[in-house]
Chain A
Amino acid sequence: MSNQEKHWEKSRGLLMITLAIWFVFSIGIFLFGAEMNEVTGPFGYPWTYWFTCQGSLGAFVILIFWFANRQEKIDEEFGFSEREDE
C-alpha cells in the first residue's frame, strides 16, 4: 500500500469517528428526548432542553477543532502537510 493510500485510510477512519460523535449529539440523544428530559442536567436545566440550547451546539464546536487537529497530525505523519510558502 502506498503512502498516499495509508494516509487516506487513516483520514477515512478519522472521518468515521467524527461522524459517529456527530451522530450522537445531533440525532442519537434526540431519539430519547422525552425520557431524558425528565432528568436534571448541567446547571440545573432539564437534560434534553439543555442539549438543544447549548450542549449539542458546544459539542459541535469542540468536535470540529478536535477533528482539525487530528487531521493535521495525520497529514504531518505521512508528509502531506502544506509548506508555509505555498
Chain B
Amino acid sequence: MKSTNFIDNLPKVYGIYTGGFIGFIILMAIAEQMGMTAKAIGIAFVAFTVFIYALIGWLSRTAQADAYYVAGRQVPTVFNGMATAADWMSGASFVAMAGGIYFKGYGYMALLVGWTGGYVLVASLLAPYLRKFGCYTVPDFIGTRYGGNLARFSAVVVLTVASFTYVTAQINATGTIASVALDIPFQYAVYIGLISILLCSMLGGMRGVTWTQVAQYIVLIIAYLLPVFWISNKIGAGFFPHFMLADEVARIGELEAQFGFVKNSAADLATVPKGLAGITKAHSAVNATPWAFISLALAMMMGTASLPHVMMRYFTTPSVKAARKSVGWSLFFIFLLYSSAPMLATLSKLSLLDPNLSTGIIGKSITDVQAIDWYQNWNAANLMFVSDFNGNGTVELNEFFMGGKAVVLATPEIAGLPYVISGLVAAGGMAAAMSTADGLILAIANAISHDVYYKIIDPKAETAKRLVVARVLLVVIGFAGATIAAMEIQGILGSVIWAFDFAMSGLFFPLVLGVWWKRANRQGAIAGMLGGLAAGTWYLVWVRTGGSGFLGITQLTFGIFGSAVSLVAMVVVSLMTQEPDKATQKMVDEVRVPSGKTILGKQ
C-alpha cells in the first residue's frame, strides 16, 4: 500500500526537501546580489514555504477516521519528535524568547527550564499510558477512564479554554509576520495567515498536520540556527557559540558595570514609544528570588504535561515504546532551539553594547546613531529608539530602547548579514506560528467533533459525516480565533503563559491520577477539573483587578493555585464517594502494561 512505502521513504523525502530548501536559500542569496529587492525576497520566502506546506496538506488528504484523528498511528519516533517540536515551539518561542532573555535575564529563563522540564513529566507520567489507551483525544481518555458524559464534557471545556487562549496568540503572530513580509495591513494579514494554517490541516487532519509540521520544523530550525552561528563567527566570538560565549557573557558584565544601570525618570520614559524597553537587568546575574524562578518553572512544567495539543502527538506513534522514545526526540529537537536563544541574546546585546565592535552604539554620538541605516529601518518599524535624556550628546545605556521582537528580527541586519537571512527568519517565524496554530485548532476541533458530537450527541454517526463535522468545526474555530486576533487585545507572550496555567489548573491532576491512582473516580475528576479551572480563573481575575495575591503567586503562575485546588477537590471528593467499579479498575491495570490490545481499539 502507498502508506507503508511512504513511511519507509520518509528520510529520503525529507532529505530531498531539506536540500531543496537550502537550494532555495542559495538561489535567493544570488538573486539578492543581482539586485532583487528586500521586499521581493521576503515575499518569495513566505510564499514559497507556505505553498510547500499547502501541497503537503493536499497530498495528505484522507477520508478515514484513524488517519484524520491520529495519522493512522504509524508516525516513526524521530519524525514524530520533529513534528512535536514544531507543534510546541510557537511564534512566541521563535520571535519573542531571545528578546525576553535579552531584557529580563535570569528571571525570564525560568521559562526555558519550565518548557523543557515538563517533557520529563510527559514521558514518565502520561504519554505512554495514554498511547496504550488508544484514544483519539485527551477528553476521550478522561471520558473513558472516569465514565460519563459530564466528565468528558468538563475535559472538553478545560481543553477549549486553554487551547483557545493559546491559539489567538499564534494567529496573531502569523498575521504579524505575514503583514511585515507581504507588506499588507494586519487586519487582512491575519486572515491570510489563517487560510495558510487551514490549508495544512483541513484535508488531512492529524495526518496532514504531522507531515507539514515536520517540514515546518526543518525550516524553523535552519532559520534560527544559521544566523546564530553566522553572527558568532562574524564577530569572532567562536565558531560554535554554545560552548564558546563565556568570554562574551563576562564582557557584557564588564560593560554593564562600566555603563551602570541609571534609572530614567517617569517623564523621560513617557517619551519612549509603547512596547519598547531598555536594558535594566544584568545579563547573567541571578535577579529573581528562588521562589519566583521555581514557581514560574513549575507552572510551565505542569502546564506542558496538561496541554492537549502536545499530548495528542503521542497518540500517533506505532507503539507505547515508540511514544516514550518519541518524547525524548521531541525534547532533543526543542533543545536545539532553546539552547540557542540565550546565545542569540548574548550576541545581540554584545553587538549593540561593545564600543570595540563597529556595531556598538553605546557611547557613540546620538546624531551618528540616528544616521545608521538599520537604526532608521527599525526605528520606522517602531522597534528601536534612542533619546538624549541627559543632553550630553552621546547615547548612554539607559537612553537606548528596543522591542523584544527586534532581538530575533533585527540582529542579523545589525550584524551586517545579507537580507536573505532576514527573509529566512521571517519564513522561520511563520513556520513556528503556523505549526502551533494548526496543532491547537485541530486539538479543539477534534475534541468537539469526536467527544461532543460523536460520543455525546450522535454516537451512530457515520465516518463520512463525522469528518465533515470535524472540518466545519476546524474552519469555525479558526475564524473565531482570527477574529479575536484581529482585535489585538493581548500581547503574544502573556496569553501563551496563561494557556499553560489554565491547562494545568483543570487537567494536570485528573490526567495523572487517572493512571497513577486507581481510587480516583468520576465525581472526583469532575470536581478536580471544574474546581481547578474555576479557582485558577478566579485568581487570575482577582489579581488582574487589583487583588494582592498570596504566596508570591502572580498572574503568570495562577495555575499553581488552580492545580492545588484541583488536587484537593479531586482527592477529597473521590474519597467521599464510591470507589470505581471492578471493570474500571481492571482497565487501569491494563493501561499500566504496554502489551496487549489498546483499551479503545479502532473507533
Contact = CB atoms under 8 A, between A and B. Distances in A.
B580 interface: no
Given A37-B286, A82-B320, A26 B246 contact: no
14 contacts: A44-B246, A44-B250, A45-B246, A46-B249, A52-B112, A52-B342, A56-B117, A57-B112, A61-B332, A64-B120, A64-B123, A68-B123, A68-B321, A68-B327
Interface in B215-258: 242-247, 249-250
Of A4, A52, A67, A86, most buried by chain B (CB within 10 Å of CB) is A52
Interface string A43-86: 11110110111101110110111011001100100011111001
A53 B112 contact: yes
B577 interface: no
B147 interface: no
B124 interface: yes
Contacts, number: 146
Contacts of B110: 30, 52
B319 A30 contact: no
A53 B109 CA distance: 8
Interface residues of B, number: 54
B325 A56 contact: no
Nearest to A64: B328
Contacts of B243: 43
Contact of A27 (B112, B128, B298, B321): B298
Interface of A: 4, 7-8, 11, 15, 18-19, 22, 25-27, 30-34, 37, 43-46, 48-49, 51-54, 56-58, 60-61, 63-65, 67-68, 71-72, 75, 79-83, 86
Contacts of A7: 592-593
Contacts of B327: 64, 68
A26 B113 contact: yes
Interface string B385-425: 00000000000000000000000000000000000000000
A67 B124 contact: yes
Of B113, B123, B245, most buried by chain A (CB within 10 Å of CB) is B113
Interface of B: 106, 109-110, 112-114, 116-117, 119-121, 123-125, 128, 242-247, 249-250, 284-286, 288, 290, 293-294, 297-298, 301, 319-321, 324-325, 327-328, 331-332, 335, 338-339, 342-343, 589, 592-597
The 3 closest A-B pairs by CB, nearest first: A44-B246, A68-B324, A26-B117
Contacts of B594: 75, 80-82
Nearest to A33: B286
Contacts of A30: 110, 113, 290, 293-294, 297
Contact of B246 (A43, A60, A63, A75): A43
Contacts of A53: 109, 112, 339, 342-343
A81 to B, nearest CB: 6
B321 A22 contact: no
Contact of B325 (A26, A48, A65): A65
B353 to A, nearest CB: 17
Given A52-B110, A57-B112, 7 more contacts: A27-B297, A30-B294, A45-B246, A52-B106, A53-B342, A56-B116, A75-B321
Given A37-B286, A45-B249, A60 B592 contact: no
A27 B244 CA distance: 26
Contacts of B119: 60, 64
Nearest to A11: B592
A60 B338 CA distance: 13
B297 A26 contact: yes
A26 B335 CA distance: 15
Nearest to A32: B290
A33 B106 contact: yes
Of B110, B114, B294, B597, most buried by chain A (CB within 10 Å of CB) is B294
B36 to A, nearest CB: 37
